[in-house]
Amino acid sequence: MKQHLAGTKGDVGACKKVPFDVQYSMRESLKDIGIKNKEKTDSSKYNTPYGASVHGFEGDMLNEDSEEFRPSGIHINEAAIGPRYKHPNYHALRVNLLRDAKKEVQLLIDSYRKIWKNVGCTLMADGWTDNSHRSLINFMMYCPKGVCFVKSVDASDVVKDAGTLLKMFEEVALWIGPNSIVHFVSDNGSNYKAVGRMLSEKYPSITWSPCAAHSINLVLKDIAEMDHIVYLARRASEVTKFIYNHTILIAWLRKRQGWKEIVRPGATRFVTTFIAMRSIHEHKHDLQAMVTDRSFVDSRYAKSNKGKHVIDIILDNDFWDDMGKISKVVSLLMRLLRIVDSDEKPTIGYVYDGHCVVISILRLII
């Protein structure tokens, strides 16, 4: 506001209707503020624990009035240059720097498009729900040079049938070039399957396949909904809740050598159920040592109804045997899920090797 009234060059335009006396007083006020800020900078520059600040350069090389150092799209680190470097103003961020950043992204995309035309690419559609419960679909392209984000579509107000999804996906495919797409990856839902089949029929160069991570998650979901797994998971949860609801018990366990916290299942991923089951199985001996310890046996926790129920679970050998078997069977699927859900390197080769593992596990379960 003072810069606006004073008519000085700054982040805002000058007021042409301000009286001369007001303009003069505002300029004097700005001068006083500048002197105080310079005194603070000089005092902090020489009052560091190790002497003069390494960022305090001599001379007027970073003077705020110097046109040479006004923002022009060059990224400058203030900590490396000095405390008198002038930050980019609103106009520079909104126009110059944004325009330069857009050019950099466009050059990167153009370099990717050359790879797409030469060796082909993979179109990936990832559907998810954000914190505002909006249904979003992210489109990404993968090629040997890397992954490129294409666009994000808010599909909250549309019916996700095959026809609607086909129009949405075909629009992205036409922007990329259907002849450049050799692979289309999406979720394993029936509507996505239909879209993949339609795209393959319309554009013979495109081959559809389901997302490996989503498919494995669906397998784990089916396993987690089996009656015996639900029974074991409920009993494991009762033990975990009883321990963490009594601070004296968890304090006793934390004194055990090599103790690690018990993992509790989350609500979003089915694999967390099996991670929690494996975690509590690893604490079998610590838990049995706790419930057989004299201090616990004589305490009021062991005499309560919940305490007696938890003791029965912890001392049940059949419970621990079943937990161990489930952990061993599902560990192979979880390992394969970590591989296919990784962003470090292409994993399609591991998926083909792990396919036989998945089939073997399903045969054991069925």
Taking the C-alpha atoms of residue 123 and residue 142, their distance in angstroms, rounded to an integer, is: 7
Indicate if 272 and 361 belong to the same structural domain: yes
Indicate if 24 and 72 belong to the same structural domain: yes
pLDDT given for residue 321 in this prediction: 92
Residue 151, domain member (yes or no): yes
Contacts of 326 (CB under 8 A, 6+ apart): 229, 232, 274, 277
Indicate if 317 and 201 belong to the same structural domain: no
Per residue in 192-251, pLDDT tens?
A: 888 888 888 888 888 888 877 777 888 888 888 889 988 998 898 898 888 888 888 888
Residue 270, domain member (yes or no): yes
In the chain, the DSSP E strands lie at 121-129, 135-143, 146-154, 181-186, 207-210
Confidence of residue 84 (pLDDT cuts 50, 70, 90): low
Indicate if 84 and 11 belong to the same structural domain: yes
Residue 153, domain member (yes or no): yes
Kindly report the backbone phi and psi dihedral angles of residue 121, in degrees, each rounded to the nearest multiple of 5, phi listed first: -150, 170
CATH number of the domain at 166, please: 3.30.420.10
Indicate if 293 and 332 belong to the same structural domain: yes
Taking the C-alpha atoms of residue 281 and residue 275, their distance in angstroms, rounded to an integer, is: 10
Measured between alpha carbons, how far apart are the two ends of the chain, in Å?
A: 74
pLDDT given for residue 73 in this prediction: 42
Share of residues in the chain with pLDDT > 90 (%): 3
Taking the C-alpha atoms of residue 192 and residue 137, their distance in angstroms, rounded to an integer, is: 12
Q: Which of 56, 90, 124 is the last residue of a domain?
A: 90
Total structural domains within the chain? 3
C-alpha separations of 1 from 22, 37, 92, 178 in Å: 12, 18, 19, 55
pLDDT given for residue 318 in this prediction: 92
pLDDT given for residue 320 in this prediction: 92
Q: Are 125 and 186 in contact (CB under 8 A)?
A: yes
Does residue 40 have a pLDDT over 80? no
Per residue in 283-301, pLDDT tens?
A: 888 889 888 888 888 888 8
Indicate if 322 and 229 belong to the same structural domain: yes
Residue 85, domain member (yes or no): yes
Q: Are 31 and 2 in contact (CB under 8 A)?
A: no
Residue 39, domain member (yes or no): yes
pLDDT given for residue 149 in this prediction: 83
Take residue 224 and report the two structure tokens written for it: 């987690």
Indicate if 240 and 195 belong to the same structural domain: no
Per residue in 93-131, pLDDT tens?
A: 777 788 888 888 878 877 777 778 788 888 888 887 777
Indicate if 19 and 157 belong to the same structural domain: no
Does residue 162 have a pLDDT over 70? yes
Indicate if 35 and 13 belong to the same structural domain: yes
What domain range includes position 135? 105-210
